[in-house]
Structure 1
Protein backbone atom coordinates (compact mmCIF):
# COMPACT_ATOMS: atom_id res chain seq x y z
CA UNK A 1 0.00 0.00 0.00
CA UNK A 2 1.30 3.42 -0.93
CA UNK A 3 1.25 6.11 1.76
CA UNK A 4 0.80 9.60 0.34
CA UNK A 5 1.21 13.02 1.97
CA UNK A 6 -2.42 13.12 3.15
CA UNK A 7 -2.09 9.68 4.76
CA UNK A 8 1.07 10.90 6.51
CA UNK A 9 -0.77 13.94 7.87
CA UNK A 10 -3.60 11.71 9.11
CA UNK A 11 -1.12 9.34 10.77
CA UNK A 12 0.81 12.21 12.36
CA UNK A 13 -2.37 13.60 13.95
CA UNK A 14 -3.63 10.17 15.06
CA UNK A 15 -0.29 9.31 16.68
CA UNK A 16 -0.66 12.38 18.87
CA UNK A 17 -4.42 12.07 19.50
CA UNK A 18 -5.97 8.70 18.76
CA UNK A 19 -9.31 9.87 20.19
CA UNK A 20 -9.77 12.81 17.84
CA UNK A 21 -13.16 12.85 16.15
CA UNK A 22 -13.29 12.16 12.45
CA UNK A 23 -14.70 15.66 11.86
CA UNK A 24 -11.79 17.30 13.70
CA UNK A 25 -9.27 15.04 11.97
CA UNK A 26 -10.76 15.85 8.57
CA UNK A 27 -10.49 19.57 9.31
CA UNK A 28 -6.85 19.27 10.43
CA UNK A 29 -5.83 17.42 7.27
CA UNK A 30 -8.04 19.47 4.91
CA UNK A 31 -10.35 16.66 3.78
CA UNK A 32 -14.09 16.11 3.83
CA UNK A 33 -15.19 13.94 6.75
CA UNK A 34 -16.25 11.09 4.43
CA UNK A 35 -12.94 11.08 2.52
CA UNK A 36 -11.03 11.21 5.79
CA UNK A 37 -13.05 8.31 7.22
CA UNK A 38 -12.38 6.20 4.10
CA UNK A 39 -8.64 6.85 4.36
CA UNK A 40 -8.52 5.96 8.06
CA UNK A 41 -10.50 2.78 7.38
CA UNK A 42 -8.08 1.83 4.60
CA UNK A 43 -5.09 2.49 6.89
CA UNK A 44 -6.69 0.24 9.53
CA UNK A 45 -7.58 -2.52 7.05
CA UNK A 46 -4.05 -2.53 5.61
CA UNK A 47 -2.60 -2.84 9.12
CA UNK A 48 -0.77 0.50 8.97
CA UNK A 49 -2.83 1.48 12.02
CA UNK A 50 -2.56 -1.61 14.23
CA UNK A 51 -4.58 -0.50 17.23
CA UNK A 52 -5.58 2.41 19.44
CA UNK A 53 -4.36 2.47 23.03
CA UNK A 54 -4.35 4.58 26.18
CA UNK A 55 -0.87 5.43 27.45
CA UNK A 56 -0.79 5.32 31.25
CA UNK A 57 1.37 7.37 33.59
CA UNK A 58 3.82 4.93 35.21
CA UNK A 59 4.16 7.03 38.36
CA UNK A 60 0.41 7.35 38.90
CA UNK A 61 0.06 3.60 38.29
CA UNK A 62 2.71 2.89 40.97
CA UNK A 63 5.26 1.55 38.47
CA UNK A 64 7.81 4.42 38.40
CA UNK A 65 10.92 2.22 38.27
CA UNK A 66 12.13 1.23 34.80
CA UNK A 67 14.81 -1.42 34.49
CA UNK A 68 16.53 -2.59 31.32
CA UNK A 69 17.59 -6.22 31.63
CA UNK A 70 20.11 -7.83 29.30
CA UNK A 71 19.68 -11.59 29.18
CA UNK A 72 22.13 -14.12 27.82
CA UNK A 73 20.81 -17.62 27.21
CA UNK A 74 22.68 -20.87 27.73
CA UNK A 75 22.36 -21.70 24.02
CA UNK A 76 21.04 -20.58 20.66
CA UNK A 77 18.91 -23.54 19.60
CA UNK A 78 15.60 -22.53 18.04
CA UNK A 79 13.69 -24.54 20.64
CA UNK A 80 15.37 -22.65 23.49
CA UNK A 81 14.76 -19.24 21.88
CA UNK A 82 11.11 -20.11 21.25
CA UNK A 83 10.62 -21.39 24.82
CA UNK A 84 12.18 -18.22 26.25
CA UNK A 85 10.04 -15.98 24.03
CA UNK A 86 6.83 -17.82 24.93
CA UNK A 87 7.62 -17.59 28.64
CA UNK A 88 8.71 -13.94 28.67
CA UNK A 89 5.40 -12.92 27.06
CA UNK A 90 3.63 -14.15 30.20
CA UNK A 91 5.51 -11.80 32.55
CA UNK A 92 3.19 -8.79 32.99
CA UNK A 93 5.99 -6.50 34.22
CA UNK A 94 7.90 -6.86 30.91
CA UNK A 95 6.77 -4.07 28.60
CA UNK A 96 9.18 -4.91 25.78
CA UNK A 97 11.44 -7.80 24.82
CA UNK A 98 13.88 -7.54 21.93
CA UNK A 99 16.05 -10.25 20.38
CA UNK A 100 19.45 -8.57 20.09
CA UNK A 101 22.62 -8.75 18.06
CA UNK A 102 25.50 -7.90 20.35
CA UNK A 103 26.64 -8.78 23.85
CA UNK A 104 23.24 -10.05 25.09
CA UNK A 105 20.65 -12.29 23.47
CA UNK A 106 17.62 -10.30 24.68
CA UNK A 107 16.93 -6.86 26.08
CA UNK A 108 13.88 -6.43 28.30
CA UNK A 109 12.19 -3.26 29.46
CA UNK A 110 10.66 -3.97 32.87
CA UNK A 111 8.56 -1.73 35.12
CA UNK A 112 8.38 -2.10 38.89
CA UNK A 113 7.13 -0.29 41.98
CA UNK A 114 10.66 0.09 43.39
CA UNK A 115 13.93 -1.82 43.76
CA UNK A 116 12.37 -4.33 46.17
CA UNK A 117 9.58 -5.04 43.71
CA UNK A 118 12.14 -5.49 40.92
CA UNK A 119 14.09 -7.91 43.15
CA UNK A 120 10.87 -9.94 43.49
CA UNK A 121 10.25 -9.88 39.72
CA UNK A 122 13.87 -10.86 39.11
CA UNK A 123 13.81 -13.74 41.58
CA UNK A 124 10.31 -15.09 40.93
CA UNK A 125 9.92 -14.52 37.21
CA UNK A 126 13.02 -13.51 35.22
CA UNK A 127 15.48 -15.97 36.78
CA UNK A 128 13.02 -18.79 36.07
CA UNK A 129 12.72 -18.08 32.34
CA UNK A 130 13.93 -21.00 30.18
CA UNK A 131 17.61 -21.06 29.32
CA UNK A 132 18.70 -17.96 31.23
CA UNK A 133 22.44 -18.16 31.84
CA UNK A 134 23.16 -14.55 32.76
CA UNK A 135 21.32 -11.31 33.50
CA UNK A 136 22.55 -7.75 33.75
CA UNK A 137 20.13 -5.07 35.01
CA UNK A 138 20.41 -1.32 34.52
CA UNK A 139 18.07 1.04 36.36
CA UNK A 140 16.80 4.12 34.58
CA UNK A 141 17.41 7.22 36.68
CA UNK A 142 15.23 9.50 34.58
CA UNK A 143 13.43 9.28 31.24
CA UNK A 144 14.89 11.98 29.01
CA UNK A 145 12.83 11.44 25.86
CA UNK A 146 9.71 9.42 25.15
CA UNK A 147 7.38 9.03 22.22
CA UNK A 148 5.31 6.32 20.64
CA UNK A 149 5.02 8.28 17.39
CA UNK A 150 7.01 7.07 14.39
CA UNK A 151 8.69 9.80 12.35
CA UNK A 152 6.71 10.38 9.16
Structure 2
Protein backbone atom coordinates (compact mmCIF):
# COMPACT_ATOMS: atom_id res chain seq x y z
CA UNK A 1 0.00 0.00 0.00
CA UNK A 2 1.29 3.45 -0.86
CA UNK A 3 2.09 5.90 1.91
CA UNK A 4 -0.53 8.49 2.82
CA UNK A 5 0.27 11.89 1.33
CA UNK A 6 0.31 14.77 3.80
CA UNK A 7 -2.01 17.50 2.48
CA UNK A 8 -2.61 20.96 3.91
CA UNK A 9 -5.89 22.90 3.66
CA UNK A 10 -4.90 24.59 0.39
CA UNK A 11 -3.97 21.24 -1.21
CA UNK A 12 -7.37 19.89 -0.20
CA UNK A 13 -9.17 22.93 -1.66
CA UNK A 14 -7.27 22.46 -4.92
CA UNK A 15 -8.15 18.76 -5.07
CA UNK A 16 -11.85 19.45 -4.36
CA UNK A 17 -11.95 22.16 -7.03
CA UNK A 18 -10.24 20.00 -9.66
CA UNK A 19 -12.56 17.08 -8.92
CA UNK A 20 -15.49 19.39 -9.55
CA UNK A 21 -14.01 20.93 -12.71
CA UNK A 22 -10.85 19.32 -14.02
CA UNK A 23 -10.85 21.69 -16.99
CA UNK A 24 -10.63 24.86 -14.91
CA UNK A 25 -7.88 27.24 -15.96
CA UNK A 26 -5.17 28.05 -13.44
CA UNK A 27 -6.65 31.55 -13.13
CA UNK A 28 -10.09 30.10 -12.31
CA UNK A 29 -8.60 27.58 -9.93
CA UNK A 30 -6.46 30.26 -8.24
CA UNK A 31 -9.50 32.47 -7.67
CA UNK A 32 -11.41 29.56 -6.14
CA UNK A 33 -8.62 28.52 -3.76
CA UNK A 34 -7.50 32.07 -3.05
CA UNK A 35 -3.91 31.86 -4.31
CA UNK A 36 -2.04 33.46 -7.18
CA UNK A 37 -2.12 31.59 -10.49
CA UNK A 38 1.63 30.86 -10.29
CA UNK A 39 1.35 29.49 -6.73
CA UNK A 40 -1.63 27.39 -7.79
CA UNK A 41 0.29 26.03 -10.78
CA UNK A 42 3.22 25.06 -8.51
CA UNK A 43 0.84 23.35 -6.06
CA UNK A 44 -0.95 21.40 -8.81
CA UNK A 45 2.36 20.26 -10.35
CA UNK A 46 3.56 19.11 -6.91
CA UNK A 47 0.28 17.25 -6.29
CA UNK A 48 0.73 15.49 -9.63
CA UNK A 49 4.37 14.61 -8.91
CA UNK A 50 3.65 13.12 -5.48
CA UNK A 51 0.70 11.11 -6.77
CA UNK A 52 -2.16 12.98 -5.10
CA UNK A 53 -3.46 13.59 -8.63
CA UNK A 54 -3.17 10.41 -10.67
CA UNK A 55 -4.65 11.77 -13.91
CA UNK A 56 -7.49 13.61 -15.58
CA UNK A 57 -10.48 12.06 -17.35
CA UNK A 58 -13.82 12.83 -18.93
CA UNK A 59 -16.89 11.38 -17.20
CA UNK A 60 -18.87 9.40 -19.79
CA UNK A 61 -22.33 8.12 -18.78
CA UNK A 62 -22.44 4.53 -20.12
CA UNK A 63 -26.10 4.80 -21.17
CA UNK A 64 -25.32 7.78 -23.43
CA UNK A 65 -22.82 5.71 -25.45
CA UNK A 66 -24.93 2.58 -25.91
CA UNK A 67 -23.93 0.69 -22.76
CA UNK A 68 -27.36 0.48 -21.16
CA UNK A 69 -26.83 -2.43 -18.78
CA UNK A 70 -24.61 -2.34 -15.69
CA UNK A 71 -24.02 -5.47 -13.65
CA UNK A 72 -22.12 -6.24 -10.47
CA UNK A 73 -20.68 -9.73 -10.65
CA UNK A 74 -19.34 -11.59 -7.61
CA UNK A 75 -16.65 -14.02 -8.74
CA UNK A 76 -15.29 -17.03 -6.86
CA UNK A 77 -12.04 -18.52 -8.13
CA UNK A 78 -11.01 -22.14 -8.24
CA UNK A 79 -8.34 -23.01 -5.71
CA UNK A 80 -6.10 -24.75 -8.27
CA UNK A 81 -5.58 -24.64 -12.02
CA UNK A 82 -3.74 -26.78 -14.56
CA UNK A 83 -1.06 -24.11 -14.88
CA UNK A 84 1.91 -25.01 -12.69
CA UNK A 85 3.49 -21.57 -13.12
CA UNK A 86 0.78 -19.19 -11.96
CA UNK A 87 -1.92 -19.46 -9.34
CA UNK A 88 -5.61 -18.79 -10.15
CA UNK A 89 -5.50 -15.27 -8.69
CA UNK A 90 -2.58 -14.22 -10.89
CA UNK A 91 -4.24 -15.69 -13.98
CA UNK A 92 -7.54 -13.96 -13.22
CA UNK A 93 -5.96 -10.59 -12.40
CA UNK A 94 -4.05 -10.66 -15.67
CA UNK A 95 -7.09 -11.66 -17.72
CA UNK A 96 -9.46 -9.07 -16.25
CA UNK A 97 -7.16 -6.30 -17.46
CA UNK A 98 -7.98 -7.22 -21.06
CA UNK A 99 -11.76 -7.38 -20.70
CA UNK A 100 -13.19 -4.01 -21.83
CA UNK A 101 -16.60 -4.72 -20.28
CA UNK A 102 -15.02 -4.72 -16.81
CA UNK A 103 -14.71 -1.11 -15.65
CA UNK A 104 -13.84 -1.96 -12.05
CA UNK A 105 -12.51 -5.03 -10.28
CA UNK A 106 -11.90 -5.25 -6.53
CA UNK A 107 -10.70 -8.10 -4.33
CA UNK A 108 -13.08 -8.96 -1.49
CA UNK A 109 -13.16 -10.65 1.85
CA UNK A 110 -15.88 -13.20 2.49
CA UNK A 111 -17.45 -15.90 0.38
CA UNK A 112 -16.54 -14.48 -3.04
CA UNK A 113 -13.07 -13.42 -4.19
CA UNK A 114 -13.74 -10.48 -6.53
CA UNK A 115 -16.46 -8.00 -7.43
CA UNK A 116 -16.62 -6.79 -11.02
CA UNK A 117 -18.55 -3.79 -12.27
CA UNK A 118 -19.40 -4.55 -15.87
CA UNK A 119 -21.04 -2.30 -18.47
CA UNK A 120 -22.55 -3.88 -21.58
CA UNK A 121 -24.99 -2.97 -24.33
CA UNK A 122 -27.80 -5.30 -23.36
CA UNK A 123 -28.67 -8.74 -21.98
CA UNK A 124 -27.32 -10.50 -25.09
CA UNK A 125 -23.96 -8.77 -24.65
CA UNK A 126 -23.98 -9.68 -20.95
CA UNK A 127 -24.74 -13.32 -21.78
CA UNK A 128 -21.87 -13.48 -24.28
CA UNK A 129 -19.49 -11.94 -21.74
CA UNK A 130 -20.50 -14.43 -19.04
CA UNK A 131 -20.50 -17.55 -21.19
CA UNK A 132 -17.60 -16.86 -23.57
CA UNK A 133 -15.28 -14.83 -21.36
CA UNK A 134 -15.84 -14.98 -17.61
CA UNK A 135 -17.00 -18.57 -17.09
CA UNK A 136 -14.65 -19.78 -19.84
CA UNK A 137 -11.68 -18.56 -17.82
CA UNK A 138 -9.93 -21.52 -16.14
CA UNK A 139 -9.59 -19.73 -12.77
CA UNK A 140 -13.30 -18.95 -12.40
CA UNK A 141 -15.33 -21.43 -10.39
CA UNK A 142 -18.61 -19.52 -9.93
CA UNK A 143 -20.22 -16.12 -10.31
CA UNK A 144 -23.36 -14.37 -9.13
CA UNK A 145 -24.78 -11.27 -10.78
CA UNK A 146 -26.88 -8.33 -9.64
CA UNK A 147 -28.14 -5.83 -12.22
CA UNK A 148 -28.40 -2.08 -11.65
CA UNK A 149 -32.00 -1.00 -11.87
CA UNK A 150 -31.47 2.67 -10.99
CA UNK A 151 -28.47 4.80 -10.10
CA UNK A 152 -29.13 6.64 -6.86
CA UNK A 153 -25.71 8.24 -6.38
CA UNK A 154 -22.65 8.15 -8.58
CA UNK A 155 -19.56 10.20 -7.82
CA UNK A 156 -15.98 9.89 -8.91
CA UNK A 157 -14.67 12.45 -6.45
CA UNK A 158 -12.72 11.40 -3.36
CA UNK A 159 -13.90 13.24 -0.23
CA UNK A 160 -10.74 15.21 0.61
- TM superposition score category, shorter chain reference: over 0.9
What's the CA shift string for 1:35-87, capped at 9, x where partnerless?
00000000000011000001112111101210000011111797210111000
Give the distance between the partners of 1:69 and 1:126, measured in 2 at CA. Answer: 10
Which residue of the other structure, out of 94, 102, 110, is the alignment partner of 1:102? Answer: 110
Q: How does 1:2-151 map to 2 (within 5 A)?
A: 2-75=6-79, 79-151=87-159
Determine the C-alpha separation between the residues in 1 that align with 2:26 and 2:70: 36
Mapped partners of 1:107, 1:76: distance in 2: 20
Structure 1 stretches of at least 4 aligned residues deviating more than 3 Å after TM superposition: none
TM-score (ref. length: structure 1): 0.96
> Contact (CA 8 Å) 2:80, 2:139: kept in 1 or not?
no
Question: Superposition RMSD on alpha carbons, in Å?
Answer: 1.3
8 Å CA contact retained: 2:30, 2:37: yes
